[in-house]
A and B are shown apart, each in its own frame.
Chain A
Amino acid sequence: MGGNLIEALGFKVSSSSSLPFFCFTGGVTPKSSLCRVADNKEKMRGLKLPLSQTQRVRLQRAFEKLQSLSAKANSDASVTVADTIPVNYEDAFLKGYGTTDLNGELVATVCGVVERVNKLVYVRALRARYKPEVGDVVVGRVVEVAQKRWRLEINFSQDAVLMLSSMNMPDGIQRRRTALDELNMRSIFEENDIVCAEVRNFQHDGSLQLQARSQKYGKLEKGQLLIIDPYLVRKSKQHFHHLEQFGIDLILGRNGYIWIGEHVEARDSVVIDQAKSIEQSTVVEGINRAYTPLEMRQNICRIANAIRVLTILEMEAERRSLTTKRKR
């Protein structure tokens, strides 16, 4: 079934024995199909919406799963716009985001899941923009090299800032950044470079500040970037995955940017890189620099297509869904 579905969606999948098999994480998660639940409820209110056969089947399954899950305690009820939120009106409670008072009842203004934190009742929307948290791993693209900082685009309402002081210096010594360091910022990151970093804190105007102090963060080369919806990347313990069997690095940025590329060892110092980059800039590009070997490129393409398929099916992109141990 999986193979046919993927072929039908137009992606090239060849299932030879040395390939990962696609293992979908058991069925449709109810949270991802709440928008379809909305359709069902609309139908129940007398409105008809045109759904294709597959959509109808998915809607039924999602609805059933939702019913089975919400048969438990009511606290995690899912709501759609204009649904009443089940609240004990005698208790004092605080109306949070996504709710409003309508005719004395507490009504949801977004589609999502009701969250209760002590006395605060709010609705967490699903397909929202990326909502950053401190410590998130994000992948971004440099849009500007400014004074003592880089500005990165990370699929958020504002550009994130990576300060020069939040980057390790090439020689590895901890020291104050001098004016010379500032002039040499371009040798570290240029415009349009892909950078992996971590969220350090929020600035007073709401924008993010990033840091890339560890060796696993930094510039990403030799691979491709994939952009998906941020809600499909859940926070987990590991965002850097090194798939040994393929020699591939997979970085799942929480902002929906996913990097798939050749494996690069975490370097102790970037000095070697700098020497290499001086060499490369004087040599004609594309001829002397070796291309990624075909075998690794095939694996990168397969993983990328697998993630694209999972995105279309609105399933979360995680390492487990992409590879599975081959049973001999």
Chain B
Amino acid sequence: MVGLSVGEKHFIQGGIAQDLRSDGRKRLTYRPIYVETGVIPQAHGSARVRLGATDVIASVKAELGKPSALQPDKGKIAIYVDCSPTAAPMFEGRGGEELSTELSVALQRCLLGGKSGAGAGIDPTSLVVVEGKVCWDLYIDGLVISSDGNLLDALAAAIKAALSNTGIPKVDVAVETRSDEQPEVNISDEEFLQFDTSGIPVIVTLTKVGRHYIVDATSEEESQMSSAVSISVNRKGHICGLTKRGGVGLDPSIILDMISVAKHVSEQLINKLDSEIAAAEASEEES
């Protein structure tokens, strides 16, 4: 991250205070979002999302596995994010590991719901094939190619797009098996099941600079932040997850205010994202 001079920092703070940021956006305006789906043909689903100069790819791979003994009627989902060294020189080697774990944990919290599986964006019961014996394991991987701020929002959008692009192969189970044997499964190459992604939330990150919050901060603006709150909201307007970063403490009333702002912003974001995903899928079918 390149440093900023005192004059530039002052200019950025002034812009946020006057509701006119360096690129002309208002405080609560997102950068244009570009979604491409099907970028990784070998994966079951993939998507690439560009938010200004931030570029992330998400891919979904499904493998057959055994469900855990505690939850025999649910499949397993794992989310992992990797920051590529092409995004920033400090990500080389193990430098990006801290940021990767932070992003992975935040995404898991927002999308996977509680330990019992309640409230997950993706319904794990839809992943089971034979209860107690065979289920789908979903591995969702995110890769940060270029970082210009607001990685969490971009990754959540990419995962949503990748999941709507995902086709889980249909499985035929051999009927005549005894209960203690592993059933034979036949994975079809032709038929695919699509996911219902309307329940998947989006993440809105509000970055507090001075006395105001902005949405979709660039990396320059993020360097000026005192704290940032990432709120995951779904279509119904319910909060699915909440993460706070940054060392400065926040008054509880500010957090409540941020939540209401995030709810308001998320409506437009969800609509925009859904239309972009639909457009991306349509153009992918054409080509």
Chain A interface residues toward B at CB < 8 A = 9-12, 141, 190-194, 219-225, 261, 285-286, 289, 291-292, 294, 297-298, 301-302, 304-305, 308
CB pair B25–A12 under 8 Å, yes or no, is yes
Given contacts A194-B8, A224-B11, A291-B18, 18 further A-B contacts (CB under 8 A): A10-B31, A12-B25, A191-B3, A192-B6, A193-B5, A221-B10, A222-B11, A286-B13, A286-B210, A289-B10, A291-B10, A291-B13, A294-B20, A297-B15, A301-B23, A304-B24, A305-B23, A305-B24
Chain B interface residues toward A at CB < 8 A = 2-8, 10-15, 17-18, 20-25, 31-32, 210
CB pair B11–A223 under 8 Å, yes or no, is yes
CB pair A297–B17 under 8 Å, yes or no, is no
CB pair A10–B20 under 8 Å, yes or no, is no
CB pair A224–B8 under 8 Å, yes or no, is yes
- Complex A-B: 13 CB contacts under 8 Å: A12-B24, A190-B6, A192-B3, A193-B5, A194-B8, A219-B7, A221-B6, A221-B7, A221-B10, A289-B10, A292-B11, A301-B20, A301-B24
CB pair A225–B8 under 8 Å, yes or no, is yes
Known: A10-B32, A194-B5, A297-B15. Is A222-B22 also a contact (CB below 8 A)? no
Q: Most A CB atoms within 10 A — which of B11, B20, B23, B210?
A: B11
CB neighbours of B3 from chain A (8 A): 141, 191-192
Q: How far is the CA of A225 from the CA of B15 in the complex (A)?
A: 14
Known: A220-B7, A297-B18, A305-B23. Is A141-B2 also a contact (CB below 8 A)? yes
CB pair A298–B20 under 8 Å, yes or no, is yes
Q: How far is the CA of A190 from the CA of B9 in the complex (A)?
A: 14
Q: How far is the CA of A289 from the CA of B17 in the complex (A)?
A: 13
6 interchain residue pairs of minimum CB distance:
A221-B7, A291-B14, A10-B32, A192-B3, A12-B24, A301-B24
Interchain nearest-CB distance for B287 vs A (Å): 9
Interchain nearest-CB distance for B100 vs A (Å): 27
Q: Name A292's contact: one of B14, B25, B31 (CB within 8 Å).
A: B14
Select from chain B the residue with minimum beta-carbon distance to A227: B2
Q: How far is the CA of A194 from the CA of B8 in the complex (A)?
A: 9
Select from chain B the residue with minimum beta-carbon distance to A153: B2
Q: How far is the CA of A223 from the CA of B22 in the complex (A)?
A: 9
CB neighbours of A221 from chain B (8 A): 5-7, 10
Q: How far is the CA of A198 from the CA of B132 in the complex (A)?
A: 74
Q: How far is the CA of A261 from the CA of B13 in the complex (A)?
A: 15
CB neighbours of B20 from chain A (8 A): 294, 297-298, 301
CB neighbours of A308 from chain B (8 A): 23
Select from chain A the residue with minimum beta-carbon distance to B18: A294
CB pair A222–B10 under 8 Å, yes or no, is yes
Q: How far is the CA of A38 from the CA of B14 in the complex (A)?
A: 46
Q: How far is the CA of A223 from the CA of B9 in the complex (A)?
A: 9
Interchain nearest-CB distance for B14 vs A (Å): 3
Interchain nearest-CB distance for B66 vs A (Å): 43
Select from chain B the residue with minimum beta-carbon distance to A8: B32
Q: How far is the CA of A308 from the CA of B7 in the complex (A)?
A: 21
Interchain nearest-CB distance for A199 vs B (Å): 21
Interchain nearest-CB distance for B283 vs A (Å): 11
CB neighbours of A286 from chain B (8 A): 10, 13, 210
Q: How far is the CA of A13 from the CA of B15 in the complex (A)?
A: 17
CB pair A194–B23 under 8 Å, yes or no, is no
CB neighbours of A302 from chain B (8 A): 24
Select from chain B the residue with minimum beta-carbon distance to A14: B24
Q: How far is the CA of A292 from the CA of B15 in the complex (A)?
A: 8
Q: How far is the CA of A261 from the CA of B15 in the complex (A)?
A: 13
CB pair B25–A192 under 8 Å, yes or no, is no
Q: How far is the CA of A305 from the CA of B25 in the complex (A)?
A: 11
Q: How far is the CA of A297 from the CA of B12 in the complex (A)?
A: 11
CB neighbours of A305 from chain B (8 A): 23-24
CB neighbours of A11 from chain B (8 A): 23-24
CB neighbours of A141 from chain B (8 A): 2-3, 5
CB neighbours of A285 from chain B (8 A): 10
Select from chain B the residue with minimum beta-carbon distance to A11: B24
Q: How far is the CA of A193 from the CA of B20 in the complex (A)?
A: 23
Select from chain B the residue with minimum beta-carbon distance to A143: B3
CB neighbours of B15 from chain A (8 A): 297
Q: Name A223's contact: one of B7, B18, B23, B32 (CB within 8 Å).
A: B7
Q: How far is the CA of A298 from the CA of B3 in the complex (A)?
A: 24
Known: A222-B10, A301-B23, A305-B23. Is A291-B17 also a contact (CB below 8 A)? yes
Select from chain A the residue with minimum beta-carbon distance to B30: A10
CB neighbours of A261 from chain B (8 A): 7, 11
Q: How far is the CA of A210 from the CA of B3 in the complex (A)?
A: 21
Select from chain B the residue with minimum beta-carbon distance to A50: B287
CB neighbours of A294 from chain B (8 A): 18, 20
